[in-house]
Amino acid sequence: MDWLTDNWLSILRGFGETLKLLGLSGAIALVLGTLVALARVSPVPILRGVAIGFVTIFRNTPLLVLILITYYGLPEVGIDFGFFINISLAMGFYTASFVTEAIRSGFNGVPLGQAEAARAIGMPFTQSMSQVVLPQAFRLVVPPLASVFIALTKNTSLAATFGVAEATYRMRGLFNDYASQMIFIFLGIALGYILIVAVISWIATAFERRFAVNAR
């Protein structure tokens, strides 16, 4: 167990980086994905087209390819926020496309009559969304959204390849130093990821409970 007792601080820092990646790319994904989802269901054809294009491009490109583009490609055209943010951008945009689809499925789960009734009393699109459709879609969106963020949590490990010293990167370092204890190191790091995911699931369940009561 000396791999743990001697390195716990470095492992914790690794998970700290993992959480930073998750936080930054998750925030990008949530904000961007919600905006694109609104565009996707808006009455403006151009906005709908842009949203469909966005989802098609970012959902259908492997995440690794997207990271390669933002990591090597963007700095070449003069867009360089530093490798950490550039990698987070790739993860954020990639995940945003899944957030968009999750939220859209939530919209579709709200009966059409709800939006029609909102429009019929004179609410413009934005108001019928914010007052009537979104609050009802929210509850439906929580489970698929939790899955998206769980996937993102695990996807952050790709950043190890690009030298971000997050949990998986630390794990590989430990493999080199404690080759005989590989299985324990692996299980230990996996447990860390499982804890993060468990927290996400717990938050999702709490949200679901809170809003389920409201709708009945």
Contact 98, 153 (CB under 8 A): no
CB of 142 to another protein, least distance (A): 14
Give how far Cα 71 sits from Cα of 20, 62, 75, 113, 187, Å: 17, 14, 7, 46, 30
Q: Cα–Cα distance between 25 and 81 in angstroms, integer?
A: 14
- The DSSP symbol for 39 reads H
Residue 55 contacts another protein per CB under 8 A: no
| Complex with another protein: residue 56 or 108, whichever CB lies closer | 108
Neighbour-count burial of 195, counting CB atoms closer than 10 A to its CB (0-12 exposed, 13-18 middle, 19+ buried):
exposed
Residue 45 contacts another protein per CB under 8 A: no
CB of 159 to another protein, least distance (A): 39
Q: Convert residues 108-147 into a mask of x (bound to another protein by CB under 8 A) and - (unbound).
A: ---x-xx-xxxxxxxxx--x---xx--xx-----------
Q: Convert residues 65-104 into a mask of x (bound to another protein by CB under 8 A) and - (unbound).
A: ----------------------------------------
User: Own/partner pairs for 43-46, CB < 8 Å, 24+ apart?
Assistant: 43/125
Residues in contact with another protein by CB under 8 A are: 43, 111, 113-114, 116-124, 127, 131-132, 135-136, 214-216
